A and B are shown apart, each in its own frame.
Chain A
Amino acid sequence: MVICIASGKGGTGKTTVATNLAAVIGEKAQYLDCDVEEPNGHIFLRPKFEYSEKVYVPVPQVNLEKCDFCKKCAEFCQFNALAVLGKNVLVFPELCHSCGGCMLVCPNEAISETGREVGICEKGKGLLDVEFVHGHLRIGEAQAVPLIERVKKEISKERISIVDAPPGTSCPVIATLKGADFVVLVTEPTPFGLHDLKLAVGVARILNLPIGVVVNRANLGDKKVYEYCEKENIPILLNIPFDREIAECYAQGKLLIGHEKWRLAFEQLFDTIKKHLEGER
């Protein structure tokens, strides 16, 4: 079972929901942090890493001895990652999307592939025996998707996978959500929260995924998120109020489920999601 926690707007509480949900499930759960640009789950689940791997994507390298500077590769590349200047070929690896096309169109077999490091993928055991996986995008690397896909390779059918998504609605979010069984959208009841929630609902609908909403800081703002969810027939799975106790927990990097009240609330959240999934079937 793969449950993705996403939001559209950043900072609504995705990581709080994802880490606490994984923690109440315990050793049967695995937590995967796909917000590889700014991963934060490790702050709360405090994993001991046992495995670390540098992740590479293929990029072209040109053998100038075989190259006759015909420019077919540069003309083919949709991403301007190659340029032929006189008797030289410039490769811009950061623009390359690793399609392999340049290598295929080269009439002289002058192009082979080498690796560009996009980041690291680490794996270990977190608090309450939750299996922990995350990716750390290399600073300066533009493309998060290949690293997200690497992190998602660790999804295990034996476990309940809680996947923490990045904010937004574009390629990194799509790559994260693909293949999920259920998406929890975390929002806050403000115009920003609502606007970005609508976009996130749009993403989930394009991918045809069942959704539910968690409203964070539920007592700050207005009622419009609730009106929207009712109109769109989207279930509200949990309300988390703003209070200093929760803010304090977060600021200390602690899990909410240390408090009995919140442990029960997250257990119930998991039950509700399971029921929705059974309903789907």
Chain B
Amino acid sequence: MKELVIISGKGGTGKTTITASFAALAQNKVLADTDVDAPDLHLILSPQIKHEEDFKGGHYAVIRKEDCIQCGKCRELCRFEAISEEFTINPVDCEGCGVCVHFCPVEAIDFPQRVCGKWFISETRFGPMVHAQLDIAQENSGLLATLVRQQAKNLAEDKGLDLIIVDGPPGIGCPVIASITGANCILIVSEPTPSGLHDLERVWQLAKGHFGIPCLACVNKYDLNEMMTDKIEEFCQKNDIKLVGKIPFSPKITEAVVNGKSIVEYDAEVASVVVSMWKEVYNYLKSL
């Protein structure tokens, strides 16, 4: 089984647009969306939810007013400034470390588990999909991303499918690390701007430099600035990153999203570029 993760460093370069097209083109695969705080793949794939479960993350502390003697020990020990002068704990600030719970002299603090979101197994017109939604202002996006990938793997094994395509989150922090560790291959979606190149470099350092995962790259909207596209190509060449495609800017891509379609279902001209890009990616995956 092979797992391909699509990331970008910088947000909004076209990860989801490209993942949706690969979903339309690839055979025998499970789809997954690990951008659990702002997932968008479902807006194109319109999944029908078959299975839904709460995601329980860490714990959070709650002071029982009636038992609290207001000694101030919890406020003194909490490093996250989560406890007010009136001895209530702000759940948004609580890190769930349990220090206040453990050291409360009268055991007046409860420590229930937090429901941080939901995850789903769904059917789409392109096959099965695992996705999630972290509740607003919750923590543990990395844990949820890990859970989504594990469920996608289980589903692929059950159904005898040999490929997982993961739509990843932006950035280089916790949810990205959780989305890429142990993957077979990364596709980095860049754009021809200084920010696009800067963020490509950082995410590549993380994926290849830190975790040793083979990386492919593509440039979206490449014709908006061909000089920057050349710079990205140069960077890829120098660092032995295979450039699998350059997608032109086209208002058709936005139109496709507005109509809930992947670009390969919508516009033949852009589709041809994405189709040949998918062939490159697929051949690379097979060669691993």
Contacts and interface: CB of A to CB of B under 8 A. Distances in A.
B99 interface: yes
Interface of B: 8-13, 16, 37-38, 40, 43, 58-59, 77, 79-80, 92, 95-99, 102-103, 134, 136-139, 141-142, 169-177, 191-195, 198-199, 202-203, 205-206, 209-210, 224-225, 227-228, 251, 254, 257-258, 260
A174 interface: yes
Nearest to B42: A195
What 3 pairs across the A-B complex have the smallest Cβ distances?
A10-B11, A11-B12, A99-B97
A40 B171 CA distance: 12
A174 B257 contact: no
Contact of A167 (B38, B102, B192, B194): B38
Interface stretch (A22-30, A199-207, A268-276): A199-207
A168 B43 contact: no
Given A37-B170, A101-B97, A139-B210, 19 more contacts: A38-B9, A38-B199, A78-B58, A79-B97, A101-B99, A142-B177, A167-B12, A168-B37, A169-B136, A170-B134, A170-B138, A170-B175, A173-B37, A199-B136, A202-B136, A202-B137, A247-B225, A251-B228, A253-B194
A247 B228 CA distance: 12
Nearest to A143: B174
Interface centre among A105, A140, A195 (most CB of B within 10 A): A140
Nearest to A224: B258
Range of interface residues on A (Cβ < 8 Å): 35 or more
A131 interface: no
A71 B206 CA distance: 33
21 contacts: A10-B8, A10-B38, A15-B195, A38-B203, A139-B206, A139-B209, A139-B210, A140-B210, A142-B177, A143-B173, A167-B12, A167-B170, A167-B171, A191-B43, A192-B16, A192-B257, A195-B40, A203-B137, A220-B251, A247-B224, A251-B228
Nearest to A14: B11
B13 A191 contact: no
Contacts of A10: 8, 10-12, 38, 170
Q: By DSSP majority rule, is chain A's interface helix, strand, loop, or mixed? A: loop
Contact of B171 (A38, A78, A190, A206): A38
A168 B10 contact: no
A60 interface: no
B206 A140 contact: yes
A98 B95 CA distance: 10
